[in-house]
Structure 1
Amino acid sequence: MQELYRKIPQVSKLIEDKSVRHFLSYFYMEEIKQEIEVVLKDIRSKIKSEFIVSLNYEDVVSMITNRLRIHDLYSLRRVINGTGTVLHTNLGRAVMSKNAIDNVVRVCKGYSNLEYDIEAGKRGSRYDHLEAMVSKIVGSESAVVVNNNAAATMLTVAAFSTNKEAVVSRGELVEIGGSFRIPEIIEASGAILKEVGTTNRTHLIDYERATSEKTGMYLKVHPSNYHIDGFIKNVTNKEIVELAKETKVITCEDLGSGAIIDFSRYNFYKENMVQESLKSGIDLVTFSGDKLLGGPQAGIIVGKKELIDRIKKHPLTRAFRVGKMTIAALEATLRDYLSHQTVVETTPTLRMLFENKEELRAKATKLTNRINEIDYFDSEVIPVNSTVGGGSLPLSIIESYGISIKSKDMSVNDLEKFLRKGKNPVIGLINENRYYLDVRTLLNGDDELIVKQLEEYKNE
């Protein structure tokens, strides 16, 4: 048995094997190392149980490459985002932080106290893991987390306006995308939509006239993916809150993208913050976890404890509840926000949004130089504009740098197809018959994968 153990190659040797290094075109080095360690651990276990009675170097390499091939067959795959859209909905929106990913792995590789109170030794609530932390960060009395912001809005309306009227300004009857329309959400929740005002102008008196014994709530919806300018009038939160005190109607604001830091400090235009909505007196605020927050997909409802407790008891809460992976990822993301000094560095979404132009130019120059060393391709650094995406900060056009790539024997459409259909799909853009990648959304290691993908062209 000891002889078999001695035949197990070292990770450093295996990582240099030609058959294994082939997969560097498809995986990061750290991922391959992790897969090698999993295989070696399995081999040791099988030697101990005498399931393996003989072993040679080629066998080990074969086990590793087979495992790497299996991983490549998954439908949901990592892609390289060269579009410059940081919160690209089609590409999975927010890239989660290392702390969030590590916590998901830590929680999911065994059993957890998802609904178990360790202190009391009895059943607990999954909502307790996040309630105090969310409330501390945004300054609310209580909080509950569901699976996305559409669910959060629908649940809130259902809890307080079923068979009653939800009063909404016509200028806030938005469609966020993917057929998420506020009127349809209200209808599906069992409430009656009561439209007030016009597209560009809504006055407080419009809400006053619409209020009756049938009114369940005043719902404000932040138009996070578009902006109306010119001859406009909106009712402020303060005005709505004052009216609600007189009429004893619940107020709710759907903030959508959900900023909890002041983006204007980083040269973005001022975005409504969750904390500001709560301070204005709004009873309930809903927002997303995977947009400006930079965490997993989730819908977060914050506000008065009495109202949150009623939401928790609503039947739809169970239908919309989050699982342990979302809770683990969101808890780690929120912990990063408690450390204000490092949250930008630890949260990929914020880091990409706030990265300065000179850093981006240096990144683009480095990648361009690498590509120009490859036969068949030419590249140059170009100025481009990035966008936030995810229906967030629609007025923000972020100056950035990209690289244009030109093939000596492929059309621009064929080049786009070649990179998109590689083992590590590269999603870029075509503009004016030129293919380019915005380096703002390239993650660490993506440049190596792009270069290797282009080098593969010579071997096809």
Structure 2
Amino acid sequence: MDYYKKYNLKEVINASGKMSILGVSKYSENVIKAQKFGGQQFFEMEDLVQKTGQYIAKLVDAEDSTIVSSASAGIAQSVAAIIGKGSHYHLYHPYTDRVTQREIILPKGHNVDYGTPIETMIELGGGKVVEAGYANMCSSQHIASMITPETAAILYVKSHHTVQKSMLSIKEALQVAHEHQLPLILDAAAEEDLVTYISKGIDLVIYSGAKAFEGTSSGIVFGKTELIEWVRLQSKGIGRAMKIGKENILGLATAIEDYIEQDNESAEQMKKRLAPLVEELNSIKGITCSVAQDKAGRTIFRAKLMVNDEAPLNASQLVEELKTGNPAIYTREYEMNNGIIEFDIRAVTKDEMLKIGTRVKEIVALYEKEGKIHE
């Protein structure tokens, strides 16, 4: 069945990346097979959650892990777990005044909106956000100076969304946390490295299941055994509103296992696939295109398109025109105000790449013909 036609939906070419607004990733046949099995069977759900978590943890040499509904749920449930420390009273009264140790410290430049503000997830877990440092700078000393008897944990966000310059490293954040007998929570939602952060001894590491691992709509939290037990306990508390289905648990477990075993696309392979698109875009009047690496240092390369003064339209107009076509073409727009957009090709096929080049040419030609100018 063609569900695009059934529901009158627009087809999408995702040149934006692993984005929630577009459904994040495509599933492999292995993942779909695991989901189908899960959807057609019954389980003792606590048993399923515990044993899949333990199985995945062994694959990456972590103490334990637990699958949750999303990375956002992982943040909220991790915060609630650390605040509650296994207390059943807190579990059923998560915002009780009996618990005062609720402050979650994070660098000011890490208090970002990734589709929702990260502070929303912290507060959902019962935490109180305490920003350290400044928007363009945060050091170990800035973090340490904000610690009080009410501090519950330190949160570090490893993401391209955050300020990158003049920020303390994960290693430095971990050192400050452990010097003050506090846990460090690492939000590594879109990161691709499943080993390094866990091996550093970080207390809780949170990933999105659907991004780097191309798994189901899900998240996973790795960490110390006791802390993971407390996170898992939240399924009877605030986590009840964030529960994940059996089919997605098995789908993510399969996706992670496949991710560990498979050879991912190398930097050189990605650049080679990008080359024809970059060449095509460079042939368009008013457009300059080059290959650019992800600013957060991940091994991801994209086509970086710059709209210059010779073009008959600006970057904002180009982005909107790409979205309004069918198929709609979504790009990365973070530097659109500077005349720059990027094409992330990780989920783009060869045929879709040709459509991108053709569509950009058509849009520029249309604006040239109609005499439209910069707004």
- Range class of TM-score, shorter chain: 0.5 to 0.7
1:177-206 residue CA offsets vs partner (Å, 9 max, x unmatched): 223233x33333223344455552443595
**Segment drifting more, 351-360 vs 313-322:** 351-360
Secondary structure class of the residue paired with 1:393: coil
1:393 aligned partner, one-letter code = A
Distance apart, 1:226 and its partner CA: 2.7
Confirm or deny that 1:359 pairs with 2:359. no
Distance apart, 1:394 and its partner CA: 6.7
Equivalent in the alignment of 1:46: none
Equivalent in the alignment of 1:301: 221
Contact 2:271 2:301 in 1 (8 A): no
Could you tell me which of 15, 21, 24 is aligned with 1:93?
24
Could you tell me which of 237, 241, 256 is aligned with 2:174?
237
Contact 2:105 2:146 in 1 (8 A): no
Confirm or deny that 1:81 pairs with 2:14. yes
Confirm or deny that 1:334 pairs with 2:264. no
Count of aligned positions: 332
Flag the 1:440–1:380 CA change in 2: closer, same or farther, 3 A: farther
Secondary structure class of the residue paired with 2:40: coil
Alignment of structure 1 residues 45-444 onto 2, 5 Å: 68=2, 71-74=4-7, 78-82=11-15, 85-104=16-35, 106-107=36-37, 111-113=40-42, 115-116=43-44, 125-128=47-50, 130-161=52-83, 163=99, 164-171=101-108, 173-182=110-119, 184-198=120-134, 200-203=137-140, 207=144, 210-212=147-149, 214-215=150-151, 217-224=152-159, 225-230=161-166, 235-244=172-181, 249=182, 251-261=183-193, 275-314=195-234, 315-339=237-261, 342-344=262-264, 351=265, 355-362=269-276, 383-385=289-291, 393=296, 398=301, 400=303, 420-421=323-324, 423-427=326-330, 438=343, 440-441=345-346, 442-444=348-350
Listed as ranges, the gaps of 5+ residues in structure 1 are 1-34, 36-67, 117-122, 262-273, 345-350, 373-377, 405-410, 455-460
Contact 2:184 2:203 in 1 (8 A): yes
Question: Quick one: distance in 2 between partners of 1:153 and 1:258?
Answer: 14
Contact 1:260 1:275 in 2 (8 A): no
Listed as ranges, the gaps of 5+ residues in structure 2 are 85-98, 308-313, 361-375
Flag the 1:157–1:382 CA change in 2: closer, same or farther, 3 A: same
Contact 1:401 1:440 in 2 (8 A): no
1:309-358 residue CA offsets vs partner (Å, 9 max, x unmatched): 2222221232222113422331221121331xx331xxxxxx38663433
Percent identity, aligned pairs only?
Answer: 18
Question: Quick one: distance in 2 between partners of 1:380 and 1:196?
Answer: 43
Question: Quick one: distance in 1 between partners of 2:125 and 2:341?
Answer: 44
CA root-mean-square deviation? 4.6
Equivalent in the alignment of 1:5: none
Question: Quick one: distance in 1 between partners of 2:51 and 2:199?
Answer: 24
**Segment drifting more, 165-174 vs 305-314:** 165-174
Distance apart, 1:294 and its partner CA: 3.2
Question: Quick one: distance in 2 between partners of 1:439 and 1:151?
Answer: 26
Task: Give the TM-score normalised by the residue count of structure 2.
Answer: 0.68
Contact 1:145 1:321 in 2 (8 A): no
